[in-house]
Amino acid sequence: MIDPFDPSALSPSEVEPPPTLRTGATRADVAAYARGLARMSANPADPCARAAYLDLVAPGETPARAAEMATMSGCALTARAVLRRFIAHPLLAAPYRTGQAMADLVRIASEADALRSALWPMAGDVVIVGGGADGGGTEHTWIALEDSWGIDGGQRDGAGFQRIARKGHTIAGGRDGGRMIRYVLDVDAILRALGR
């Protein structure tokens, strides 16, 4: 059996989410689950990987809506999916409202008193960077792993389709590369407030 927590062991057609996790999850559980999502893709050339991607970002949506969501930037959709795995919140249970993924993340973190400004992220935290006139680039979000690595939805494969990738991040002076770190969503606080 392929280890779903080792992205290097997976070919795109073998991507499958890790097994259901226990109640009372920790930040390590969140990071391990996120790590297992690397290499999921919306590319229809690999129907298995596409089905896994759509099950992740568009659960309960109609097939037409899921296909539409496959074309949307997947960074915040991926972060929402990771949180959905571990917490109960009406925003994550309801059908997705186009353009609201980042706002949903901020609202959930705010309700859990988990919104932090420009702190160094720890494994499992959700990081929001960029956006606005002073943000240094397009708004983006990713899930922190370890040693400046993260799981980033919203990436594109060679054919232009959405995919999830493990990427390195350079964090210094409140910035991730050239983009300002807007928020770090403290996953410990989210799990304490909203965890299953």
Q: Is residue 171 scored above 50 in pLDDT?
A: yes
Instruction: Specify the pairing of strand 115-116 against strand 179-185.
Output: antiparallel
Domain annotation covers residue 2? no
Find the domain containing 63 and state its range: 7-194
Which pLDDT value is given to residue 51?
96
Domain-embedded: residue 1: no
Question: Could you tell me the pTM of the whole model?
Answer: 0.86
pLDDT, position 14: 45
Could you tell me which residue, 8 or 43, shows the higher pLDDT?
Answer: 43
pLDDT band, residue 119 (cuts 50/70/90): confident
Q: List residues bridging with 116 in a β-sheet.
A: 184
User: Which residues are CB-contacts of 153 (< 8 A; sequence separation ≥ 6)?
Assistant: 37, 57, 73, 74, 75, 76, 77, 78, 79, 141, 142, 162, 164
**Range with the poorest average pLDDT among 6-10, 31-35, 62-66:** 6-10
> Is the residue at 34 inside a domain?
yes
CB 136, CB 180: distance < 8 Å: yes
> What is the domain count for the chain?
1
pLDDT score, position 21: 41
pLDDT value of residue 137:
85
